Chains A and B, each alone.
Chain A
C-alpha cells in the first residue's frame, strides 16, 4: 500500500517568516494530495489540495508544490501568523483522484512565535 512520510515533525518559526513542510509518497499511482490543518481540540480541516496534473497551487499565503518524478510534495506558508500554529498533515490518495481512501503523513506541529 501507499506510504507517506512527512518532515519535520516539529517546526518553530518567528511571526512573519516562511514555513515549509515536506512529504514523500511511495505509490506512483497516487494522484491527489491534500493538506489538512488540525487546531487544538478539533478535527483536521482541509486547507489546500493538488492533483497530479498540476505542479503548483496557491491560495493567499499558502501554496503547495508537487514533484511527480521525485514523488514529493510540499506545503509553503508565507508571512506566518500566530493563528497558523497547529498540526499539519499531508495525505495521498491512490487511484482515481477522489478522496476515497487517504493515507496520511505523521504530522508536523508548527509553532509561530511572536
Chain B
C-alpha cells in the first residue's frame, strides 16, 4: 500500500552493526506495528504502538528497539545485528476507531546480516 512506506527496501549489513529501519504512513492511523517474516514461520510481531506515547513488546522483541517519533513515523532498530535477524520486515498501520479492523502493510524491508 503506497500510503505506508518503508526505507530502505533492501539492506545488507555485517554482524554487530547498528541498523535502523524506518516506516512512514500518510493514513493518519494511530496504531503502528513491526513484524518480521521468515519462511515457514509466518508473520511475527516485534513491537507495536497504539499512539505516540505508547510502546508495547510483541512476541519476539529481544534484540530490537523502536521509536515512535510522531504519529506518522515508527522506526525499528537493531542495536547489534546478528545473522539470525536476517528476515523480511514489515511495518503496518491500523485505525480501529474508524470501525474497521484492517491492518495496512508496507512493502517490506529485506535485511541480510552477514
Stretch at the interface among A38-46, A54-62, A68-76: A38-46
Question: How far does the alpha carbon of A28 sit from the alpha carbon of B31 in the complex, in Å?
Answer: 25
Task: Say yes or no: B101 contacts A93, CB within 8 Å.
Answer: yes
Total interface residues in chain B, CB < 8 Å: 25
Residues of A within 8 A of B48 (CB): 101
**Quick one: closest B residue to A102, CB to CB?**
B103
Stretch at the interface among B12-20, B36-44, B65-73: B36-44
Min CB distance A23 to B, Å, is: 11
Asked whether A43 and B108 contact (CB < 8 A) given A1-B59, A106-B41, the answer is yes
Other-chain residue from B44, B106, B107 in contact with A104 (beta carbon distance below 8 A): B44
Other-chain residue from B42, B45, B101 in contact with A32 (beta carbon distance below 8 A): B101
Total inter-chain residue pairs, C-beta < 8 Å: 60
Asked whether A43 and B41 contact (CB < 8 A) given A99-B94, A99-B102, the answer is no
Min CB distance A88 to B, Å, is: 11
Residues of A within 8 A of B106 (CB): 43
Question: How far does the alpha carbon of A7 sit from the alpha carbon of B102 in the complex, in Å?
Answer: 23
Contact bitstring B76-111, A, C-beta under 8 A = 1, else 0:
000000000000001010101000011101111000
Residues of A within 8 A of B59 (CB): 1
**Quick one: closest A residue to B41, CB to CB?**
A106
Q: Tell me the chain A residues, 49-97 only, with Cβ under 8 Å from chain B.
A: 49, 89, 93, 97
Task: Say yes or no: B42 contacts A89, CB within 8 Å.
Answer: yes
B62 at the interface (CB under 8 A from A): no
Contact bitstring B17-57, A, C-beta under 8 A = 1, else 0:
00000000000000100010000111111001010000000
A contact residues vs B (CB 8 Å cutoff) = 1, 6, 9, 32, 34, 36, 41-46, 49, 89, 93, 97-107
